[in-house]
Amino acid sequence: MGTTHVDNPPPAATNSTSTMLKRTPLFAAHQRLGGKLIEFGGWEMPVQYSSILDEHLCVRRAAGAFDISHMGEVLVRGPAAESFLNQTLTNDARKLAVGQGQYTLLCNERGGTIDDLYAYRIEPAEYLLIINAARIDADRSWLEQRRAAFGAPDNVAVLDVSERTAAVAVQGPRVAEFIDSCFPTASVGGTDVVRVTDLKKNQIARFDFEGATIWIARTGYTGEDGFEIVAPAERVESIWNRLLAAGHPYCLQPSGLGARDTLRTEMGYPLYGHELDENTTPIEAGLGFFVAFDKGDFTGRSVLAEQKAKGVSRRCVAFKMTDKSAPPRPHYPIWSAGANGKKIGAVVSGTQSPSLGIGIGMGYVPPESAKAGTGVEIEIRGLRSPAVVVTKPIYKKAV
Residues whose CB is less than 8 angstroms from the CB of residue 10 and which lie 6 or more positions away in sequence, other chains included: none
Report residue 162: phi and psi, to 5°: -55, -40
Report residue 169: phi and psi, to 5°: -115, 135
| Under rule CB under 8 A, residue 331 binds other proteins | no
| Stretch in the footprint of other proteins (CB under 8 A) among 49-57, 77-85, 112-120, 236-244 | 49-57
* In the complex, minimum distance from the CB of residue 62 to other proteins, in angstroms, rounded to a whole number: 18
* In the complex, minimum distance from the CB of residue 311 to other proteins, in angstroms, rounded to a whole number: 35
| Under rule CB under 8 A, residue 5 binds other proteins | yes
365-394 binders of other proteins (CB under 8 A): 381
Count CA within 13 A, CB hemisphere, residue 225: 14
53-112 binders of other proteins (CB under 8 A): 53, 56
| Under rule CB under 8 A, residue 51 binds other proteins | yes
Size of the site for other proteins (CB under 8 A): 25
Residue type, 376: V
| Stretch in the footprint of other proteins (CB under 8 A) among 20-28, 50-58, 280-288, 387-395 | 50-58
Distance separating alpha carbons of residues 5 and 358, to the nearest angstrom: 19
| Under rule CB under 8 A, residue 172 binds other proteins | no
Q: Give DSSP secondary structure letters for 197-255.
A: GGPPTTBEEEEEETTEEEEEES--SSSSSEEEEEEEGGGHHHHHHHHHHHHGGGTEEE-
Report residue 364: phi and psi, to 5°: -105, 130
Nearer to other proteins, 11 or 189 (CB): 11
Nearer to other proteins, 52 or 199 (CB): 52
Distance separating alpha carbons of residues 159 and 388, to the nearest angstrom: 44
| Under rule CB under 8 A, residue 3 binds other proteins | yes
Nearer to other proteins, 52 or 236 (CB): 52
Report residue 290: phi and psi, to 5°: -100, 15
Nearer to other proteins, 280 or 352 (CB): 352
205-264 binders of other proteins (CB under 8 A): 258, 261-262
| Under rule CB under 8 A, residue 7 binds other proteins | yes
Count CA within 13 A, CB hemisphere, residue 309: 7
Distance separating alpha carbons of residues 352 and 354, to the nearest angstrom: 6
Candidates 26, 52, 205, 243; binder of other proteins (CB under 8 A) is: 52
| Under rule CB under 8 A, residue 18 binds other proteins | no
Distance separating alpha carbons of residues 63 and 56, to the nearest angstrom: 9
Candidates 354, 362, 369, 390; binder of other proteins (CB under 8 A) is: 354
* In the complex, minimum distance from the CB of residue 18 to other proteins, in angstroms, rounded to a whole number: 16
256-315 binders of other proteins (CB under 8 A): 258, 261-262
| Under rule CB under 8 A, residue 6 binds other proteins | yes
| Stretch in the footprint of other proteins (CB under 8 A) among 45-53, 176-184, 195-203, 222-230 | 45-53
Q: Is 110 exposed, middle or buried (0-12, 13-18, 19+ CB in 10 A)?
A: middle
Distance separating alpha carbons of residues 290 and 89, to the nearest angstrom: 10
* In the complex, minimum distance from the CB of residue 262 to other proteins, in angstroms, rounded to a whole number: 6
Nearer to other proteins, 5 or 164 (CB): 5
Report residue 238: phi and psi, to 5°: -65, -40
* In the complex, minimum distance from the CB of residue 37 to other proteins, in angstroms, rounded to a whole number: 13
Distance separating alpha carbons of residues 54 and 360, to the nearest angstrom: 18
Residues that bind other proteins (CB under 8 A): 1-7, 36, 47-48, 51-53, 56, 258, 261-262, 325-327, 329, 351-352, 354, 381
